[in-house]
Amino acid sequence: MRTRSLLPLYALVVLPFFLNDVGFILAKTAPQWLAADYGSKLAALALVLAIPALRRLARDWGDTGTPLWLLALAAVASAGLIVAEFRGFEDRLNALWPDSILYRFPRIESDGLRIFDLTAGLALTAVVEELVFRRLFADILEPHFRSEWAMVAASAVLFGAIHWSAGIGSVICAVLAGVVLMVLMRRSGSLWPPVVAHYLTNLILFT
């Protein structure tokens, strides 16, 4: 199937990520917020698995001869870079546009729920977002760009846009993170390093 015919299907998969933040805004409690968060990721994953052409693309996580220790080092270094970027710029950027912040993450009071979120929840987020915004984006949309860097930039902007309710500063930081994660996937030849980097980044930022 030609990549052009996959564009509407890809747009359908991306839609739950934008609706996710609507759920955040409407949520009154931490469990409601988590339900919206998990629900959007599971909906996107279900769509990928239900559409044969996307399911075939999703199976390819890359096969590289690079030593595992080097992939792990690249993932950890990338996570450190993204965490430093968020902690260095996000609050200062959001302070410039406070009205753009439509939602703030609630505190999870339940220890069990918090542990689940920091393990299975963050793992789900890392796997699904990397699959959709790195692997599928590159496979489907790269032929429509004149250069690899244009594709990297476009994927990062789309990734940043799904964080729209968290404020302009968060969106900008997510765009920069998207660049790092896409470059990591392209240079490593595998989806595993950005998945690990994404998980580590969220784990550090949410703890």
For the chain, what are the domain ranges? 3-206
Decide if pLDDT at 14 tops 80.
yes
pTM of the model as a whole = 0.95
- Cβ proximity of 30 and 109 under 8 Å: yes
Rounded CA separation 64/204 (Å):
27
77-103 pLDDT, tens per residue?
Answer: 999 999 999 999 999 999 999 999 998
DSSP 45-85: HHHHHHSHHHHHHHT------S-HHHHHHHHHHHHHHHHHH
pLDDT band at 118 (very low <50, low <70, confident <90, very high): very high
Mean pLDDT computed over 145-154: 96
Decide if pLDDT at 1 tops 70.
no
Please give the pLDDT value at position 106: 85
Q: Which of the 8 DSSP states describes residue 145?
A: S
Q: Which has more confidence, 60 or 14? A: 14
| Count of positions (residues) in the chain | 207
16-58 pLDDT, tens per residue?
Answer: 999 999 999 999 999 999 999 999 999 999 999 999 999 999 9
Report which residue type is found at 38.
Y
